[in-house]
Chains A and B, each alone.
Chain A
Amino acid sequence: MHAKVNHAKVEFDAIPGNLGFARVAAASFAAGLGFTVEDLEDIKLAVSEAVSNCIIHAYPGPGEARPTVLMVMEARESEFVVSIEDKGIGIADVAMARKPGVTTDSERLGMGFTLMEALADQVDVKSELGVGTRVEMIFSPERGG
């Protein structure tokens, strides 16, 4: 297949109403890259987890700036790379937050990062307190799972 190189950037308000939009945007960008329907469902689920985290956790207080999420999608050769970024409170201990069942919200399962790791070929999390969090996930169509 021809190597495809492409990229798209969307910035949106960190509100629940934009979650479905983010999922569909990522899946339709990835749709031309050789993924199966099941793969695209996996991409939707992983994106839903990352974007939900920005909406739920990143902006807890009344801040002066408008809370937003930046989603950057890239087609690199045969891979789909998506990064989801906020300018929120950040995560104090990323390694701890990524563990299954770790949550700062008693109503939640603490399984978002665990799902992202199960779904994507690679997950990279960068976070700084008071600056924000960036989650990058890489998916390739030919993966065995």
Chain B
Amino acid sequence: MIEWEVSGNSLVVEIAGELDLTCADEFRRVLDSLIDSHPGVARVILCMDRVAFIDSSGIGVLFGRHRRMALRGGTLAIASPSPQAMRALDLLGVPSVIHVYDTLKQALAAEAEVRKCTRK
């Protein structure tokens, strides 16, 4: 259901399946332990192209992890959401709070850009 790798300053997490009440708790636990075990990572990128379904239970977990990353001065972003995921995210106004990128490549490039700016 969840695969991950570290790319530069980012923890890239690939999520698949149906993110609803049935797996929200496990989804939360897995993401939290990934975040906690990578204290040096400034940004978490969640790839959601294989998310077949997400509802408010799943989106609640995304918001919670976004807050968690913000608390340690980091960020959380979403990359390549499936059409259903994008629809649900849009309806809840998620893109105004959490960055949503069309592709993982764009998300990683945006991160490099942010690093360049803050280094000045």
Contacts and interface: CB of A to CB of B under 8 A. Distances in A.
* Chains A and B come from one and the same complex: yes
Contacts, number: 57
Interface residues of A, number: 24
Nearest to B61: A107
A16 B87 CA distance: 23
Number of chain B interface residues as a range: 10 to 19
Interface string B39-77: 000000000000001011101100110000000000000
A19 interface: yes
A48 B20 CA distance: 8
A112 interface: yes
A44 B53 contact: yes
Interface stretch (A49-57, A58-66, A85-93, A130-138): A49-57
A108 B20 CA distance: 12
B18 A52 contact: no
A104 to B, nearest CB: 14
Interface of A: 16-17, 19-20, 23, 38, 41-42, 44-45, 48-49, 52, 55-56, 107-109, 111-112, 114-115, 118-119
29 contacts: A16-B22, A19-B20, A19-B21, A19-B22, A20-B18, A23-B53, A38-B83, A38-B87, A41-B83, A45-B53, A45-B84, A45-B88, A48-B20, A48-B53, A49-B56, A52-B20, A52-B21, A52-B55, A52-B56, A52-B57, A107-B64, A108-B60, A109-B56, A111-B92, A114-B92, A115-B88, A115-B91, A115-B92, A118-B91
Contacts of A56: 21
Contacts of A20: 18, 20, 22
B56 A55 contact: no
Contacts of B53: 23, 44-45, 48
Determine chain B's interface SS by DSSP, over half rule.
helix
Determine chain A's interface SS by DSSP, over half rule.
helix
Contacts of A16: 20-22
Nearest to B63: A109
B22 A17 contact: yes
